Amino acid sequence: MLYTEILKDNRVFTSLYKKGKFTASKFSVIYIRPNGKPFNRLGITAGKKIGNAVCRNRAKRLIRLAYRENEISLPVGIDIVIVARSRLCEIKSQEYCAYMKKYGTAEITRMFRSFGTDKKKQ
């Protein structure tokens, strides 16, 4: 990944869940929040409801692939956590990559821009 680091700190995950904005689809839930750094940070979560270890690892692999293919079109300076849903294991990788290209990046960009307007309102 070109300008992305991996999120591992539980404190950052919980702050994203509480204070970040999110968008949900049938395949995944995407949480974002600006981080003020010149790079993005990505965290991936796949809980036990997804299925066994094979399903969870496949879901994480699909998310990483879709993110890597669409990383160029995302704004820089955000924390992103993508939570897999059980339907993600049932589709092909090209389908999720196409979803991220068409809807995911547009939603992330829209939410990122709305953070700037929220600060102006206050």
Residue 78: CB atoms within 10 A of its CB come to: 24
pLDDT tens sequence across 90-111: 999 999 999 999 999 999 999 9
pTM of the model: 0.90
pLDDT tens sequence across 37-93: 999 999 999 999 999 999 999 999 999 999 999 999 999 999 999 999 999 999 999
Residue 44 pairs in a beta bridge with 82
Q: Residue range 12-32: average pLDDT?
A: 94
Q: Are strands 4-6 and 28-34 parallel, antiparallel or unpaired?
A: unpaired
Place of tokens 């990383």: 71
Q: How far apart are CA 91 and CA 76, in angstroms?
A: 29
